[in-house]
Amino acid sequence: MKKMLKKTLLATSCAAALGGMGTAVQAADWLMLQGAEDYHTAGRAKVWGFIQAQYQHDASDAGTSPNAGLYVPPKMIGPDLDSQSAFNINRARIGVRGTGMPIDSNVNYFFLVEFGNNAITNPGNSFAKITDASITLNHFKDIARVRAGQFKIPMAEEIYQGIALFDYVNFTAGTNQLLLERVPNRNYTGNTPPQSLPVGTSLNGFTDSVAAARGIGAQLFNTVKVAPDWEVGYSFMAENGNGINSSDNDKNKDYHLYVNATKIFSGAGPRRQDWKTFAWYTTGDRFIDGSNDSVHNPVEYERKRYGVGTKYYKLPFRVSAEWIKAEGVIFQGPDKPSFCLLGPCTVAGGPGPNHSFSGLNSDAEATSWYIEGGYLIPNTKWELDLRYAKFNRMDNQTPTSFGPFTNVTPEVEFTELTLGVQYHVNRKTRLTLNISKNEAEAVTFASGAGPNSNLDGVDNRYALQLTHIF
């Protein structure tokens, strides 16, 4: 009985890796925690999950003339985008994971379903969506492991880590717009104009779920100890590149490469104290119908994302920083489902004057970075967090003329400073308060002109979230 109890507790600890333990997050080995099980201790089936209930309020002002009294998505609360304040069950996930023991302990599986109200379930008012369903073969674990199915793509730490352990309520603007990825509508869909309150027309023009940094494919990965306190990890993944719960829509595949090196200080599993440095690269193609000509005529665009980062965690401190670069298929907002910034991408008969402003060009680029840190006050349940983030969208375009404006570009700069406080009620329950000072500006337009007639007034956002893991 003692041996069984010990194994059960160890299995619970391992299975809680993705669900989290309600303590400060750290640079854990997410390759192994999400893709593999400890075959010595894992059970056949471990049911687990988490719930996040939240309240958010956005204090942004409406647009200015000619959009006086109107609102755009950066000033609204998602996923519905019809209010500036809302309660929400942001995430409610339940899953099961384990091994094939005693048949074969070298095979493990991972299954997770989302029931919350977010960009995964909100399109089409879905009751629930499968987020993860994968099988891992560990028969040659000293060399490589093979994982197949639908699961998270190894990339930036902010989005790759277990979301229940995330120290903030909202992602940075760069991660939200460049890595979550909205799957393009099959047919051309026009921009949704700014809306007055109460919102009459939905500001979310996408019909499919957000990809949620996941894909359906196969992965070759492993983590190897190279010294008693050092390990290196790698991953190579090929997947459809067409979002979740869907088959491929073209002959192309997305390819992802990820590597990391980690200095281990103490502990193990999701609460390990360590210092991880990592780099990643992803490339693929997207077919997007950007022609407003009533004909389904999608064009293939190349999409690249890559970045580097580092994360240090040694009680009572945590410090991390990441830099992300994007090329092609730059997301312009949920109200622009054909990725057009200031107007239709094209018009009947060929490219229109706004084509260079669409974010679809092969040379369209964006850059994002952040630095953040946390301090877990010793001998208390309180944690203090601070994050500064910068995101420059379409930051490489040549100045041109647009309507009455000359020498302008579509570059928009997003700046965010977030102050956070966490209270850890217990190991599996915590309360998170964030106060974010947000700014957004079309940098080559005067205040109140062009896109700034909508972006002026972007301001503070207040978020309170209660997380419980089971």
Position 4 scores a pLDDT of: 38
Position 343 scores a pLDDT of: 55
Tokens of 315: 């009680």
Residue 129: pLDDT band (50, 70, 90) is very high
Q: Is the pLDDT of residue 363 over 90?
A: no
Between 354 and 85, the higher pLDDT residue? 85
Position 117 scores a pLDDT of: 96
Distance CA 14, CA 8 (A): 10
Q: Is the pLDDT of residue 13 over 50?
A: no
Distance CA 469, CA 446 (A): 47
Q: Is the pLDDT of residue 43 over 80?
A: yes
Residue 315 neighbours by CB distance under 10 Å: 16
The closest of 218, 441, 241 to 329, measured between CA atoms, is: 241
The closest of 182, 168, 73 to 123, measured between CA atoms, is: 182
pLDDT, tens digit, for every residue of 442-455? 999 999 999 999 99
Position 358 scores a pLDDT of: 78
Distance CA 419, CA 387 (A): 7
Helix (H) or strand (E) holding 19: helix 2-19
Q: Is the pLDDT of residue 347 over 60?
A: no
Residue 7: pLDDT band (50, 70, 90) is very low
Between 429 and 291, the higher pLDDT residue? 429
Bridging pattern class, strands 254-266 and 273-288: antiparallel
In one letter, which amino acid is 408? Answer: V
Helix (H, G, I), strand (E, B) or coil at 228: coil
**In the chain, % of residues over pLDDT 90:** 74
pTM for this prediction: 0.91
Among left, alpha and beta (phi > 0; psi -120 to 50; other), residue 171 is: beta
Residue 22: pLDDT band (50, 70, 90) is very low
CB 26 within 8 A of CB 265: no
Q: If you ran DSSP here, which 8-state letter would residue 449 be given? A: S
The closest of 97, 11, 80, 22 to 52, measured between CA atoms, is: 22
Rg (CA), the chain: 22
Q: What is the mean pLDDT of residues 77-105?
A: 94
Tokens of 289: 């119908």
Q: If you ran DSSP here, which 8-state letter would residue 153 be given? A: P
- The residue ranges of every structural domain in the chain are 2-361
Q: If you ran DSSP here, which 8-state letter would residue 159 be given? A: H
